[in-house]
Amino acid sequence: MSDYGFDTLQVHAGARPDPATGARQVPIYQTTAYVFRDADHAAALFNLQEVGYIYSRLTNPTVAALQERLATLEGGAGAVCCSSGHAAQIMALFPLMGPGRNIVASTRLYGGTVTQFSQTIRRFGWSATFVDFDDTDAVTAAIDEDTRAIFCESIANPGGYITDLDAIAAIANEAGIPLIVDNTSATPYLCRPIEHGATLVVHSLTKFLTGNGTVTGGVVIDSGNFDWSASDKFPSLSAPEPAYHGLKFHETFGPLAFTFHGIAIGLRDLGMTLNPQAAHYTLMGIETLSLRMEKHVANAVKVATWLEGHGAVEAVTYAGLPSSPWNSRVPAICPKGAGSLFTVTLKGGYDACIKLVDSLELFSHVANLGDTRSLVIHSASTTHRQLSEEQQKAAGAAPNVVRFSIGIEDADDLIRDLDQALAKASG
Ligand SMILES: *Cc1c(COP(=O)(O)O)cnc(C)c1O
């Protein structure tokens, strides 16, 4: 299957006619449990000696089809879906971490991820050190003997910044720890982090992958390339697991060790499961991923270029513009385009931003991104409202900045809407 092109795989990977009915589309297996053939079959499943379906907190055929499709599109060995992008981040870290362990994370991350890493994970005894990932010496210097992963985004939210994944992967490799890449803003159509040395790829399915603002979901994809037994740093994967009679995940499952651990321990005990209905919507969405991303990128280039030339605009951060300092990374990291998220700084400051957001008619003022619809948010008065002005600036959410997620409508209609709203905002 994997020697087919992306457009073929996004439609076919993970899907086969339903063995019971011949249904061509992947059915929604809306069931909690699965009948065992007999007591021996049940015992083999529970001992992980046979792969099959037990209970939908762990595995479900609709979710399994989606997992196989996502693993294929990212070029990974296996994938585990979860209930949200944030759940996927915890599921990715869980087998690697323990009390006293830390991760080294980029300062340029989705706002919710900064909160999860700087505050919530401390409750587990984990911590994060944030550094500028363009300063590779600082990344290396931040790694200590308790570091268990490096975490960054390929194209970083709120838009504009592109990580030099090859350089960061080389540092992770040297330190003998995995690189985790959040590929939400790029999708596997624009960027394939595993080809740049990532060990794990996480996504919020909520965004471009489902693509139409209907689902909250996440996924962890494992490259299958990391040697979990090379050191004693990852005992969850390399040492005997008491809950499974001393089974060693890496020794037993090889390149699928992380995926099996994610299901057999992660989903079993943390319970952050994706439901089959949500998996179905995401499978539908992925069928058109490349078509949508082409249009998202083409529209973002047009709209960002137009905005950059507008008199009321001070700056546009889009990496697809030649003016962006990250533009030179596009050919290597995301050759099909720099996505469709960016921020715009208005000369009129906070008041102009509020007026712009209130005057736009086609753009929706929402906290989401990666929808077919064009979206806008003034972060300083909404998602980043609780932060000081200094913190807002550091997060790319200064009072004079709005964030755009460009949809797949007619670019000329989007520009017309922006034109009338900017006139009101600067008038
Ligand atoms: C939205 C988002 C998340 C969180 O995903 P949820 O599905 O909302 O939990 C994580 N990373 C990035 C880059 C995102 O855009």
Q: Output the domain CATH number for residue 259.
A: 3.40.640.10
> What distance in angstroms lies between residue 413's CA and the mean position of ligand 1's atoms?
28
Q: Work out which ligand 1 atom sits closest to the CA atom of 88.
A: 9
What is the span of the domain harbouring residue 221?
Answer: 6-96+178-285
Q: Is residue 101 part of a domain?
A: no
> Is 222 a residue whose pLDDT tops 70?
yes
Q: Do 255 and 311 fall into the same domain?
A: no
> Is 271 a residue whose pLDDT tops 70?
yes
What pLDDT sits at residue 341? 96
CB-based contact 12:4 (threshold 8 Å): yes
> Is 71 a residue whose pLDDT tops 80?
yes
Q: Do 412 and 309 fall into the same domain?
A: yes
Q: Is residue 185 part of a domain?
A: yes
Q: How confident is the model at residue 188 (pLDDT cuts 50, 70, 90)?
A: very high
Least confident span in 76-85, 201-210, 376-385? 376-385
Nearest alpha carbon, ligand 1 atom 6: 85
Q: How confident is the model at residue 239 (pLDDT cuts 50, 70, 90)?
A: very high
Q: Do 255 and 344 fall into the same domain?
A: no
Q: Work out which ligand 1 atom sits closest to the CA atom of 369.
A: 15
> What distance in angstroms lies between residue 59's CA and the mean position of ligand 1's atoms?
23
Q: Is residue 242 part of a domain?
A: yes
Nearest alpha carbon, ligand 1 atom 10: 85
Q: Which two tokens stand for residue 218?
A: 């996440």
Q: Work out which ligand 1 atom sits closest to the CA atom of 185.
A: 13
In sequence order, the β-bridge partners of residue 156 are 161
- Cα separation, 173 vs 155, in Å, equals 21
pTM for the structure as a whole: 0.97
What pLDDT sits at residue 257? 97
Length of the chain: 427
Mean per-residue pLDDT, 23-40 = 95
Half-sphere exposure of 400 (CA within 13 A, CB side): 11
Q: How confident is the model at residue 126 (pLDDT cuts 50, 70, 90)?
A: very high
CB-based contact 353:371 (threshold 8 Å): no
Q: Is residue 165 part of a domain?
A: no
Q: Do 308 and 224 fall into the same domain?
A: no
The domain boundary, picked from 285, 320, 349, lies at: 285
In sequence order, the β-bridge partners of residue 155 are 162
> Is 392 a residue whose pLDDT tops 70?
yes
- Cα separation, 205 vs 31, in Å, equals 22
> What distance in angstroms lies between residue 202's CA and the mean position of ligand 1's atoms?
10
Q: How confident is the model at residue 245 (pLDDT cuts 50, 70, 90)?
A: confident
Q: Do 88 and 225 fall into the same domain?
A: yes
Q: Say which amino acid occupies 426.
A: S
CB-based contact 28:280 (threshold 8 Å): yes
CB-based contact 152:106 (threshold 8 Å): yes
Whole-number Cα distances in Å, 54 to 21, 26, 108: 21, 19, 40
Write the DSSP symbol of residue 195.
G
Mean pLDDT of all residues belonging to the chain = 95
> Is 395 a residue whose pLDDT tops 80?
no
Cα three-residue angle 363-368-371, rounded to 5 degrees: 65
> What distance in angstroms lies between residue 204's CA and the mean position of ligand 1's atoms?
5
Mean per-residue pLDDT, 221-244 = 96
Mutate to test the pocket of ligand 1, among 206, 343, 377 (most ligand atoms within 8 A of CB): 206
> Is 91 a residue whose pLDDT tops 90?
yes
> What distance in angstroms lies between residue 302's CA and the mean position of ligand 1's atoms?
26
> What distance in angstroms lies between residue 185's CA and the mean position of ligand 1's atoms?
9
269 CB contacts (<8 Å, ≥6 apart)? none
- Cα separation, 353 vs 364, in Å, equals 14
Instruction: Give the torsion sign (CA, 307, 325, 404, 380).
Output: negative
Q: Work out which ligand 1 atom sits closest to the CA atom of 206.
A: 7
Mean per-residue pLDDT, 178-189 = 98
Q: What percent of the chain has pLDDT over 90?
A: 88
Q: Is residue 361 part of a domain?
A: yes
Q: How confident is the model at residue 165 (pLDDT cuts 50, 70, 90)?
A: very high
Nearest alpha carbon, ligand 1 atom 5: 85
Least confident span in 42-51, 101-110, 131-140, 352-361? 42-51
Q: Do 271 and 308 fall into the same domain?
A: no
What pLDDT sits at residue 390? 79
Cα three-residue angle 308-313-314, rounded to 5 degrees: 95
> What distance in angstroms lies between residue 110's CA and the mean position of ligand 1's atoms?
7
How many beta carbons lie within 10 A of that of residue 294, not counting itself?
Answer: 15
Nearest alpha carbon, ligand 1 atom 11: 110
Beta strands in 224-276 (DSSP E): none
Nearest alpha carbon, ligand 1 atom 1: 204
Q: Do 280 and 294 fall into the same domain?
A: no
CATH no. for residue 311?
Answer: 3.90.1150.10
Whole-number Cα distances in Å, 176 to 133, 180, 239, 254, 329: 18, 13, 17, 17, 26
Pocket of ligand 1 (CB under 6 A): 84-86, 110, 112-113, 153, 157, 182, 184-185, 204, 206-207, 216, 218, 369
> What distance in angstroms lies between residue 111's CA and the mean position of ligand 1's atoms?
9
Q: Do 273 and 379 fall into the same domain?
A: no
Q: Is residue 258 part of a domain?
A: yes
Number of structural domains (the chain) is 2
Q: What percent of the chain has pLDDT over 70?
A: 99
Q: Is residue 162 part of a domain?
A: no
How many whole angstroms from its chain centre is CA 376?
20
Q: Say which amino acid occupies 379.
A: S
Q: How confident is the model at residue 1 (pLDDT cuts 50, 70, 90)?
A: low
Least confident span in 64-68, 84-88, 383-387? 383-387
Q: Say which amino acid occupies 32.
A: T
What pLDDT sits at residue 2? 64
Q: Do 317 and 334 fall into the same domain?
A: yes
Nearest alpha carbon, ligand 1 atom 4: 85
Mutate to test the pocket of ligand 1, among 161, 180, 184, 274 (most ligand atoms within 8 A of CB): 184
Q: Do 271 and 211 fall into the same domain?
A: yes
Phi, psi of 342 (to 5 degrees): -160, 165
How does pLDDT run across 316-328, given as a tens digit for each residue?
999 999 999 999 9
331 CB contacts (<8 Å, ≥6 apart)? none
> What distance in angstroms lies between residue 231's CA and the mean position of ligand 1's atoms?
31
* Beta pairing class for 161-162 and 200-204: unpaired
> What distance in angstroms lies between residue 182's CA and the mean position of ligand 1's atoms?
9
Mean per-residue pLDDT, 268-284 = 98
The domain boundary, picked from 231, 259, 285, lies at: 285
CB-based contact 154:165 (threshold 8 Å): yes
Nearest alpha carbon, ligand 1 atom 8: 85
Q: Among residues 68, 29, 85, 57, which one has the least CA distance to residue 210?
A: 85
Mean per-residue pLDDT, 198-227 = 97
What pLDDT sits at residue 294? 98
Mean per-residue pLDDT, 214-242 = 97
Q: Do 215 and 304 fall into the same domain?
A: no
- Specify the long-range contacts of residues 207-210, CB closer than 8 Å, at least 24 apart: 207/85, 207/368, 207/369, 207/370, 207/371, 208/184, 208/289, 208/292, 208/293, 208/296, 208/370, 209/70, 209/282, 209/285, 209/286, 209/289, 209/370, 210/281, 210/282, 210/285, 210/286
Q: Do 419 and 312 fall into the same domain?
A: yes
Q: Is residue 333 part of a domain?
A: yes
Mean per-residue pLDDT, 51-79 = 96
- Cα separation, 337 vs 340, in Å, equals 9
Q: Which two tokens stand for residue 342?
A: 């960016």
The domain boundary, picked from 285, 303, 322, lies at: 285
Mutate to test the pocket of ligand 1, among 120, 180, 207, 342 (most ligand atoms within 8 A of CB): 207
